[in-house]
Amino acid sequence: MFEGLFQPMHLLIIFAIALLIFGPKKLPELGKGLGESIRGFKQALNSSESEAKPSSEAEASKTNKN
């Protein structure tokens, strides 16, 4: 269904439309904000995974002691 969506020509058209809508001054700020939000999302996922692992390891060590 979406197999041809990310072809180079399509990406250029999307970039040109974004440039027309937001302008050349606002576009780098939008990219920076998008990058920071993706980075924050990844950090939140990693921190939730690291919080879940110690609790399961602690439970495993409790059962091994008994």
Per-residue pLDDT tens over the stretch 22-57:
898 898 898 899 999 999 999 998 887 777 765 555
With contact defined as beta carbons under 8 Å apart, do 38 and 32 qualify?
no
Give the integer Cα–Cα distance in Å for 12 and 27.
Answer: 14
With contact defined as beta carbons under 8 Å apart, do 50 and 41 qualify?
no
pLDDT attached to residue 43: 92
3-class DSSP state of 38: helix
pLDDT higher for 25 or 2?
25
pLDDT attached to residue 8: 87
CA triplet 4, 34, 41: central angle to 5 degrees?
100
